[in-house]
Structure 1
Amino acid sequence: MPPASSKSEPSNSGSYGAVILGRDLVGDTVAAMVASAFVTPSVVLLDRALVEKSSFNQPIIEGLRRHSQNCLKKPVSFIFSRPFGIVWVLYAVTFGTANATETVASRLKSTTISSLSFIPISLVNVPLGIWKDLKLAQIYSAQPTERAKVRQVVKRVSRASMTAFLIRDSATMFGSFTLPTLLASAVPDSVFASPHGKIMATQTTVPILSQIVSTPVHLLGLDYYNRNSGATVVERLSRIRADIMPATVVRCVRVLPTFGFGCLLNRELREGYLGLCN
């Protein structure tokens, strides 16, 4: 009898661990879906205003005001629109990957996996982000009768441009999902005494500061996309210098609701779910 009992314990333990892991991953998924629904409206409105500014030279503030009013007048149509679904998928998958990576790291008790979580997040976020940008550009930059033509002339993303976008999003993901947690302990107790207050402080500031690094790389990627060949290094740097300030401001504004408040909500929902289960 004792040997039989000792053999059954690992099996039971493994089955129980699998159930717990599955339960936690369900919570990770639900938290990601809810957090994504929270950040999606602001991203859709801002991205539409930016595309219309680039395509039709319409003022960004005027576009935000007009589209926000339409969103409030017809919320159901807005929520079930194609742009909303595209953006929601991007952030739901991004948050879900971050949550799942953290769950696996905690089960394996691996700080290395946790600190490198930005790598799988970036591998998911980069292609989906490019897909999102191209789709919204197709939808918002042309009239309905012209959209078929726009789809036909969409450029292929060059290797240099893709590399720049990968570095850009890796910096943003590292500054949004990994660095805030690492820097939270460095916040003085005189500023925020509780660990919760410290993580809130870093989560709403570090992603914004990360745009100082990622914006020049973003502009370089765009330049390679628009001018894949024929431009010198000096010409590319000159273009980046000309656009760096307004582009940095816009990217900082965009990242606050998504990877600032959005990450906080995702974290709170995930931890709340785990607290109820445990």
Structure 2
Amino acid sequence: MAPKIPGLEMPVQEVGNASKMTPVPIQQVPQAPLKEPHVWNTKNIGLRMASDFVSGFCAATLVAPIITVIDKGIMQNASGQATLKSSLQSSLTTFLFRPHTIVFSKPFALICMLYGGTYLTANTLDTFTSTTQNKPASYITSGTAKFAASSTANVGLCLFKDQAFARMFGSGGPPRPVPLPSYFLFTARDCLTIFASFNVPPLLGPVISRQMGEEVQRVVSGQTVAQFLAPAGVQIVSTPMHLLGLDLYNRGGRLAWRDRWKIVRKNWGVSAAARMCRIIPAFGVGGVVNSKVRKNLMTRLE
């Protein structure tokens, strides 16, 4: 046997009486670097999820009365049950003197479901992200995932709300299915509103800021102005889609498009103004209340 030299990982070959060392290199297998274990922030996860729910539906309950009144008025005006002015006056009077009849009504519950579900979806995504990425509980996302999740929730819930409102405040007679073209028109309307609410303000805000003086920017930023202006402004374009979808339900699908356009054009201006008034509390006031309540609750749980 060839002798081993301590400390060297190589055999020694014997040649006659002399020993000749021939190094035989040993290939080392590279070791993978140790990975740190992924840590999730699960502290108070149950209370954090409860906070998501509370903040979302607190905001929805706050803005639901005015949105319920306006949506009912638009529906009744489109179906011919009442003018927008008379419907608004009647609903506001009822809310002032008998608020329980509004608060405990099905239309109010549908509006709370719509915006509470939208806010809750956004809040839940923030909590999921903060948990899986080990971020603080009050962490807020602003990426594509949040836009997609909130948009999907809002469009789906809004379609359910609209078909229910159309049956409650439509042209009368026995309830009938909402036609498929109406669903398409309502979806296009909501996509425009959501795009204007989430995508346009970051682009429009810097443009507005450049047109504002420094003194004005100390009071309000261009981003804030854009956040209110863009969703309200897009109602000029989306309102005809809303009115046409309602007309297809109220008068059926056998009328000429020229006759439908006359109805849409007649109600365009007043309905667009009313929808602008409902967008401000829905995506302005409601969004701010939801964010502030959630941040306050989450900060206490960190």
> TM-score if structure 2 supplies the norm length?
0.68
- Cα distance 1:39–1:163, how it changes in 2: closer, same or farther (>3 A)? same
Contact 1:28 1:99 in 2 (8 A): yes
Offset of 1:113 from its aligned partner? 6.8
- Give the corresponding residue for 2:28: none
Structure 2 unaligned blocks of 5 or more:
1-33
- Give the corresponding residue for 1:164: 185
Q: Which of the numbers 147, 166, 174 marks the counterpart of 2:195?
A: 174
User: Deviation string for 1:167-187 (max 9, x for gaps)?
Assistant: 221221222244435654555
Q: Which of the numbers 101, 113, 120 marks the counterpart of 1:77?
A: 101
- Structure 1 CA distance for aligned equivalents of residues 263 and 284 of structure 2: 29
Offset of 1:86 from its aligned partner? 1.8
- Give the corresponding residue for 1:50: 74
User: Deviation string for 1:112-170 (max 9, x for gaps)?
Assistant: 9724533322322223223222323433458xxx7xx522xx23331x43233222212
Contact 1:172 1:211 in 2 (8 A): yes
Letter in 2 for 1:31: S
- Cα distance 1:80–1:227, how it changes in 2: closer, same or farther (>3 A)? closer
Contact 1:161 1:220 in 2 (8 A): yes
- Structure 1 CA distance for aligned equivalents of residues 48 and 217 of structure 2: 30
- Give the corresponding residue for 2:37: 10
Q: Which segment drifts farther, 67-76 or 267-276?
A: 267-276
Offset of 1:84 from its aligned partner? 1.5
- Structure 2 CA distance for aligned equivalents of residues 242 and 59 of structure 1: 12
Structure 1 unaligned blocks of 5 or more:
1-5
- Cα distance 1:240–1:271, how it changes in 2: closer, same or farther (>3 A)? same
Aligned residues: 258
- Cα distance 1:63–1:224, how it changes in 2: closer, same or farther (>3 A)? closer
Q: Is 1:125 matched with 2:147?
A: no
- Structure 1 CA distance for aligned equivalents of residues 165 and 63 of structure 2: 16
- Cα distance 1:75–1:251, how it changes in 2: closer, same or farther (>3 A)? closer
> TM-score if structure 1 supplies the norm length?
0.73
> What is the percentage of aligned positions where both structures have the same residue?
29
Q: Is 1:100 matched with 2:124?
A: yes
Q: Which of the numbers 221, 238, 241 marks the counterpart of 1:214?
A: 238
Letter in 1 for 2:37: P
